[in-house]
A and B are shown apart, each in its own frame.
Chain A
């Protein structure tokens, strides 16, 4: 498709194409959809975008997304305040919350150690994690990081920092996904699952 030289349209296409997973073609389709949509819809969409920036911030305690000083999880009195689940990003909080099997608090690191991408330990919220363990009455820290080499490096790093605290330090089990078939799994996954097998 050729640009039509209408700057309002081209601007919107430019903006959309910066979104993750959106290419030029899709950006054009989205922009044309909005062009044809009702003024109310366009208004609502624009407001929703403005709102998310104006009315949210990072939780002061766990760095999850929040509307107030503290996020909905940190201000929920029914949560177990003695447990912290350490995750890489906000999206991981969402994933774990969906399971409804964890009732403790979170700590969002904001990434993992990755020298190749220029991310070092001091750019992550590790210092803040240590402070929380010193100041809050924490009994368990669950490291729920992705099992990549970078995630592994971050687990090793944090484990070293925390091993002298009197807390239970755990990590996610790695193994066979629910509903899968062994024959279709890669060997590394099966190998890990055998290593971390459980007694019955």
Chain B
């Protein structure tokens, strides 16, 4: 998948922007606050339909304006072109278009333009709350597997209802049997989510380790552990279903007592390990960054395998904390894979010895200036 042109109007600090993208690797460089990350955010929106920084679209509209409008023209591997447009206004809300067609359910377009993002917020993935790590899994899997996204939405609805029933039971207003209709659905959707996540982590691990070794040139054992709220060690979805069911039964009294569901994919977490010890505690900043870049490359490869489409990589300011040698390795890796990549950085000098497939794009005051 390639983005060939991007039009942005009234988005963040971008006034009016037209970019033609001709190269595979695009270095967006410039000082702080010039609009580099906003460009990445606009591209991200075209793929995921939501921002990675805020939930409220109103805060994405340029100050004093009433709407934003983002249009991207894409070129598929099959050489077919298509257009995605996202329009939001204070009055009319958000509209998503695929070519001329207005998309009713935004989520149905997710996966059309597969996107891998490494943002500054992602640096917190290792240290931050479990919810950020669940979100990471959900975004990746939703792009690969539409059934996952559907199940996730259903799971959340069922969970809210089940929690309400738990409270009612606790207050003596509902019978324990009132849980049955919700448990059955919670198990069905929840076990699918857990199974898919578990499988994905298993697939990611060898890839992460390989990329980490390439970039760092040291042989550390980097891996992700899936920490489930119930015993999860299975090869089949059916077994996961049974394990979840059993655990839900076991903790029923506790759930009623708390008035909330204490096990399930919404409570699961990931732990990042370096040589079997938590990276959070035993890793340096540089190691963390290298790990996360390896993770993103691994994600991209996984996505490519499942979708047969090369994802677009958005790497926001990833070179801080990395030494020259590792930066060189990262760039080498990006060049090797032929995936379209957008990188923001304040220092472009490391690319000045310009390889041919790199475009240096200077972002200044919301405008772009091509240099090569």
Known contacts A115-B164, A116-B161; A153 and B147 CB within 8 A of each other:
no
Interface of A is mostly: helix
Question: Interface stretch among A50-58, A87-95, A129-137, A184-192?
Answer: A184-192
- Determine which of A120, A149, A150 lies in contact with B168 in the assembled complex, contact meaning CB atoms within 8 Å: A120
Question: Please, which residues of chain B bring their CB within 8 A of the CB of A156?
Answer: 180-181, 184-185
Q: Is the CB of A191 within 8 A of B147?
A: yes
Q: Report the minimal beta-carbon distance from A29 to chain B, rounded to whole angstroms.
A: 20
Q: Is the CB of B147 within 8 A of A152?
A: no
Interface of B is mostly: helix
Question: Please, which residues of chain B bring their CB within 8 A of the CB of A188?
Answer: 146-147, 150
Is B315 an interface residue when CB atoms closer than 8 A count as contact? Answer: no
Question: Please, which residues of chain B bring their CB within 8 A of the CB of A114?
Answer: 161
Q: Is the CB of A157 within 8 A of B147?
A: no
Is B160 an interface residue when CB atoms closer than 8 A count as contact? Answer: yes
Q: Is the CB of A115 within 8 A of B185?
A: no
Q: Is the CB of A113 within 8 A of B181?
A: yes
Known contacts A115-B164, A187-B150; A152 and B181 CB within 8 A of each other:
yes
Question: Please, which residues of chain A bring their CB within 8 A of the CB of B168?
Answer: 115, 120
Question: Please, which residues of chain B bring their CB within 8 A of the CB of A154?
Answer: 181
- Determine which of B160, B165, B177, B185 lies in contact with A152 in the assembled complex, contact meaning CB atoms within 8 Å: B185
In the bound complex, what is the Cα–Cα distance between A189 and B157 (angstroms)?
A: 18
Q: Report the minimal beta-carbon distance from B86 to chain A, rounded to whole angstroms.
A: 20
CB contacts under 8 Å to B, within A156-200, are: 156-157, 160, 186-188, 191
Q: Is the CB of B181 within 8 A of A186?
A: no
Is B285 an interface residue when CB atoms closer than 8 A count as contact? Answer: no
In the bound complex, what is the Cα–Cα distance between A114 and B182 (angstroms)?
A: 10
Q: Report the minimal beta-carbon distance from A153 to chain B, rounded to whole angstroms.
A: 4
Is B77 an interface residue when CB atoms closer than 8 A count as contact? Answer: no
Is B158 an interface residue when CB atoms closer than 8 A count as contact? Answer: yes
Is A9 an interface residue when CB atoms closer than 8 A count as contact? Answer: no
Is A121 an interface residue when CB atoms closer than 8 A count as contact? Answer: yes
Q: Is the CB of B161 within 8 A of A150?
A: yes
- Nearest CB to that of B104 among chain A residues? A186
- Nearest CB to that of A114 among chain B residues? B161
Is B174 an interface residue when CB atoms closer than 8 A count as contact? Answer: yes
Q: Is the CB of A116 within 8 A of B147?
A: no
Q: Report the minimal beta-carbon distance from A30 to chain B, rounded to whole angstroms.
A: 24
The interface bits of chain B over 156-200 (1 if a CB of A lies within 8 angstroms of the residue's CB, else 0) are: 011011101100100001100110111011000000000000000
Q: Is the CB of A153 within 8 A of B150?
A: no
- Determine which of A120, A149, A157, A187 lies in contact with B158 in the assembled complex, contact meaning CB atoms within 8 Å: A149
Question: Please, which residues of chain A bring their CB within 8 A of the CB of B160?
Answer: 116
Q: Is the CB of B178 within 8 A of A149?
A: no
In the bound complex, what is the Cα–Cα distance between A121 and B165 (angstroms)?
A: 11
Is B275 an interface residue when CB atoms closer than 8 A count as contact? Answer: no
Question: Please, which residues of chain A bring their CB within 8 A of the CB of B181?
Answer: 113, 152-157
Q: Is the CB of B161 within 8 A of A187?
A: no
Q: Report the minimal beta-carbon distance from B131 to chain A, rounded to whole angstroms.
A: 21
Q: Is the CB of A120 within 8 A of B178?
A: yes
Q: Report the minimal beta-carbon distance from B102 to chain A, rounded to whole angstroms.
A: 13
Is B108 an interface residue when CB atoms closer than 8 A count as contact? Answer: yes
Q: Is the CB of B174 within 8 A of A120?
A: yes
CB contacts under 8 Å to B, within A48-97, are: none
Question: Please, which residues of chain B bring their CB within 8 A of the CB of A113?
Answer: 181
Is B105 an interface residue when CB atoms closer than 8 A count as contact? Answer: yes
- Nearest CB to that of A188 among chain B residues? B150
Q: Is the CB of B180 within 8 A of A157?
A: yes
- Determine which of A153, A155, A157 lies in contact with B161 in the assembled complex, contact meaning CB atoms within 8 Å: A153
Question: Please, which residues of chain A bring their CB within 8 A of the CB of B18?
Answer: none
In the bound complex, what is the Cα–Cα distance between A113 and B162 (angstroms)?
A: 11
Q: Is the CB of B164 within 8 A of A149?
A: no
Q: Is the CB of A153 within 8 A of B164?
A: no
Q: Report the minimal beta-carbon distance from A52 to chain B, rounded to whole angstroms.
A: 34
23 A-B contacts (beta carbon < 8 Å): A115-B162, A115-B182, A116-B161, A120-B174, A120-B178, A121-B178, A149-B154, A149-B161, A149-B185, A150-B161, A153-B161, A153-B181, A153-B182, A153-B185, A154-B181, A155-B181, A156-B184, A157-B180, A160-B177, A160-B180, A186-B108, A186-B150, A191-B150
With A149-B185, A160-B177, A186-B105 given, name 9 new contacts (CB 8 A): A152-B181, A153-B182, A154-B181, A157-B180, A157-B181, A160-B180, A186-B108, A187-B147, A188-B146
- Sort A-B residue pairs by CB-CB distance and give the 5 closest, nearest first: A153-B181, A115-B164, A187-B146, A156-B181, A188-B150
